[in-house]
Structure 1
Amino acid sequence: MNQNDIRHIAIIIGSMRTGGAERAALNLCNEFISKGIRCDLVLLHREGAFLKKVSAYCTVIDLKCPRAIQAFWPLKKYFKSNKPDAVIAIQNHVQLMTLLAWKSAGNKSLLVLNEQSTPSMNLGRTGMKNFLLRILIKRFFPKASAITAVSEASAHDLSSFIPGIKNRIRVIPNPVITDELKSQMHSDPNPALSVEDGIPLVISAGRLAESKDFSVLIKAVAELRKKKKLKLMILGEGPERIKLEGLALKLNMKDDFLLPGISENPWSYMSRADVFVLPSRYEGFPFVLAEAMACGCPVISTDCPGGSAEILDQGKFGRLVPVGDHMEMARAIELTLNEGRNNKESIMSRAENFHSKKIAEAYIDLFSELKDEKEY
């Protein structure tokens, strides 16, 4: 079995808004096309900033479904009309509708569900919606051809969450590193943000949400600022913006706290920062951590549930600190700043393990393996 046996791949996701799942879909789609494989990007609703980065050779299909529950019939029609060789479905609500439509259409394609999160954390919250999702996922996920988890931790969590599914899970990291990243990280950043004024820059990035725990990072930098001048930049947008701005003001960080929103080129800041810190409470596979490493930036992460520790090889390529401990985070930042970029080359080399070309090849190999098993 070789790549030529997989000629048509569909990637199904809600939209192309700026997020880790959407970036995974974008990078995989573009890599499949670069390998000469036809790729359909099937969206429940055609919207999002990443749309403009999708290859012109990709077929973008808009199902015009504001809600996943409305997507069953459009997806069934898609499967009957297009008959892709393989399908990757991302995001739990999308995956459930894809599974039902795929089974109903009697399609012979391979269906792989890509789990981006840590299910026990992501679906463990209270509420009727999460309760129903847990029941449906346990009932229907085992019917897929395979499930890919973005880290060993995510795979273990998923196998504990859905009994009897362990043998169906494959670990394939997210496709993070791209040629675009490598070319744009050397671009000049916005001069108005003054990131090259000689003051050490601590940087982070992600959705401004409670799970990312940026308040702990602000407290850590404020603590360290008692000893030395520091600047903190957090790239991203979300519901916690006002709370984070208020905390920075309370801790007298107003003049050295930058919250510029979403950046189309976060890598130009990462390549110039003195340290990148990921303070999350839990993760699936944090794109931004691997991206910072690809930019040669020293990194620190919380030792949270998910793939962060695996990316850093259990602390070999960056310090791990306890979740929610701003004092330990402050100490780690100080030690990392004192060391400088002595291990830049090894950090960048580690990030190459998550190059989108390598990850796309891993998916093609998985499809070939599954097709061989099916034919046998």
Structure 2
Amino acid sequence: MKIVLTYPFLTGKGGMETVIKKILLNVPSTIQLDFLLPGGSKDESWIKGISRNNVKLVFHDFSNPVSILYDTFSYVRKEKPDAVITMNNLQIIPLLAARSFVKNMKIISWNHFSLKHTKANFLLQKCDLFLAISSGIVDELGELGIDSSKVHLVYNPIDKAETLIPSSQGKEKKLIYVGRVQYEDQKNLAELFKILSHVNYAYRLEIYGDGPTQEKEKLNKLADSLGISTNITWNGWKNNVWGSIKCADLALLTSSYEGFALALAEAASHGIPVISSDCPSGPRDIINSVNGRLYEPGNINQAVSLINDFFTGKLKFGTPKEITNSIEKFYTPNYINNFFKIISEEK
């Protein structure tokens, strides 16, 4: 079976790259997979180490949207795969055109964001199969009228941590945020800063991630105005972020929307409890009473109460080992087997 996996462009520094790399490293020998990025990847270091006979990396450098769509059409028409997996709705247009030349080719949608924040959702009606990374996306596809028999809940894969990250010692707690640096929009770090400005106990927020300079500048100004600047450490992007974290007491996420919230699952894998907004979609699939708590997005008082209760010991979670075992269904071996079984059976 031949598959083309495609997306217009990747920065090289995100959760999607992490998931895609795991897929590429674990493609069964019975499948030939071509990974097509018409717009290439800004940073290609994430893709190093992938050298397999049945995996082909095809990175181009188109920047014009029309050129990206045409390149998608041209490549698929030439290679004639059995199935194409796209993570972008607009790419469905050239795939429909290519299908006129490629008999029985399946078009598979694998969206990595809540459909409430994606464009051209009407094109999803033309797909043959859907891989949903959260139960929230399953619900959103149902709201669009997609036949439930075509939808498969696959989640996202993570590697089970070999070692757990210990909690900190002393009075100051280590809080961590892992992800893209954005003032508002998806990651909504402004809300995190406002929440922490009301926390009554000693803490240090360690931020692991990168973003546009203007976003960080706005966040620094907000931190100054809230009086929490001295509580924040900016660590930037790390290729091996979890190897860089020596201790942590709590992971935090205040996103307005997600696809899966990979950072939450990775934190739990390392035995770290989490507190997150109950945003669409993803956190609700990951967080349970053993590994964390959810708060209503925008409800700063509720989030503050949870964090303060954590500091006082009123809010308790499972042991680190119980936390890492609480997300067993997301670990890579189980995920890979299910992912390719679904695609192969739908051939």
User: Where on the TM-score scale, by shorter chain, does this alignment land: which range?
Assistant: 0.7 to 0.9
> Counterpart in 2 of 1:357?
333
Hey, what does 2:153 align to over in structure 1? 171
Q: 1:112 aligns with which of 108, 111, 126?
A: 108
- CA gap of 1:183–1:36, structure 2 versus 1, over 3 A, is farther
Within 5 Å, give how 1:65-80 maps onto structure 2: 65-80=62-77
Q: Does 1:48 align with 2:42?
A: yes
The equivalent residue for 1:238 is 211
1:214 and 1:247 map into 2 onto residues whose CA distance is: 10
Aligned AA for 2:219? L
Tell me, yes or no, if the aligned pair for 2:34 and 2:56 is still in contact at 8 Å.
yes
Aligned-residue offset at 1:159: 2.2
The amino acid that maps onto 1:334 is: N
Bigger drift between 215-224 and 337-346 goes to 337-346
The correspondence for 1:345, drawn from 295, 299, 321, is 321
Q: Say which structure is richer in helix.
A: 1
Change (3 A) 1:356 1:208: same
Contact kept in structure 1, 2:265 and 2:286, CA below 8 Å: yes
| Residue matched to 1:129 | none
Find the counterpart in structure 1 of residue 304 from structure 2: 330
Structure 2's unaligned 5+ residue stretches are: none
Task: List per-residue Cα deviations over 1:76-111 (Å, max 9, x = no partner).
Answer: 3322433333322112233443x2343233243332
Q: Work out whether 1:147 is the aligned partner of 2:130.
A: yes
**Given that residues 80 and 102 in structure 2 are in contact (C-alpha distance below 8 angstroms), is that contact kept between their aligned partners in structure 1?**
no
**Residue 61 (structure 1) aligned with residue 55 (structure 2):** no
Equivalent residue, structure 1, for 2:232: 257
Task: Give 1:149 deviation, angstroms.
Answer: 1.5
Q: Aligned runs of 1:75-224 on 2, under 5 Å?
A: 75-97=72-94, 99-120=95-116, 122-123=117-118, 133-134=119-120, 137-138=121-122, 140-160=123-143, 162-175=144-157, 177-178=158-159, 182=161, 199-209=172-182, 210=184, 211-224=186-199
* Cα distance, 1:269 vs structure 2: 4.9
SS at match of 1:261: coil
Match of 1:126 in 2: none
The count of aligned residue pairs is 336
* CA gap 1:263/1:105 in 2 versus in 1, 3 angstroms: same
Q: Is the 8 A contact 2:164 2:320 kept in 1?
A: no
CA distance in structure 1 between the partners assigned to 2:308 and 2:138 by the alignment: 34
CA distance in 1, matches of 2:263, 2:171: 24
C-alpha deviation, 1:48, in angstroms:
3.3
Q: Does 1:15 align with 2:12?
A: no
1:374 is aligned to none
**Offset of 1:15 from its aligned partner?**
2.8
Q: Residues 268 and 324 of structure 2 are in contact (CA less than 8 Å); yes or no, is this contact kept in structure 1? A: yes
Query: Would you identify which runs of 4 or more consecutive aligned residues in structure 1 move more than 6 Å?
Result: 195-198
How many Å apart are 1:306 and its aligned residue?
0.9
- Decide whether aligned partners of structure 1 residues 223 and 145 sit closer, same or farther in structure 2, where only a CA change above 3 A counts: same
Task: Deviation per CA, 1:56-94: give whole Å up to 9, x if none.
Answer: 223211243213422344333322433333322112233
Structure 1 position 29 matched with structure 2 position 24: yes
Cα distance change on mapping 1:184 and 1:15 into 2, 3 Å: farther
Report the alpha carbon displacement of residue 316 of structure 1 after superposing the two structures with TM. Answer: 4.8
SS at match of 1:21: helix
Identity of aligned residues (%): 24
Counterparts of 1:305 and 1:155 in 2: how far apart (Å)?
Answer: 11
Q: Pick one of 311, 315, 325 that aligns with 2:286.
A: 311
Deviations 1:207-248 (A, max 9, x none): 222122212221222211xx3211012222224211211111
1:185 Cα offset (Å): 7.3
State how far apart, in whole Å, the 2-side matches of 1:283 and 1:52 are.
22
The answer to whether the 8 Å contact 2:8/2:68 transfers is no
CA drift of 1:291 comes to: 0.8
2:326 alignment partner, SS class:
helix
Whole-Å separation in 1 of the counterparts to 2:219 and 2:295:
21
Matches of 1:300 and 1:27, distance apart in 2: 26
2:110 is paired with a residue whose SS is strand
Q: Is the contact made by 1:296 and 1:348 (CA closer than 8 Å) also made in structure 2?
A: yes
Change (3 A) 1:106 1:299: same
Q: Is the 8 A contact 1:296 1:344 kept in 2?
A: yes
Separation of aligned partners in 2, 1:347 and 1:164: 35
Look up the equivalent residue of 1:281 and give its one-letter code: S
For the residues of structure 2 that align with 1:185 and 1:69, how far apart are their CA atoms?
Answer: 46
Aligned residue identity for 1:60: L
Q: 1:174 Cα deviation (Å)? A: 1.4
Structure 1 stretches lacking a partner, 5+ long: 1-5, 124-132, 189-194, 372-376
1:216·1:325 contact (CA, 8 Å) conserved in 2?
Answer: no
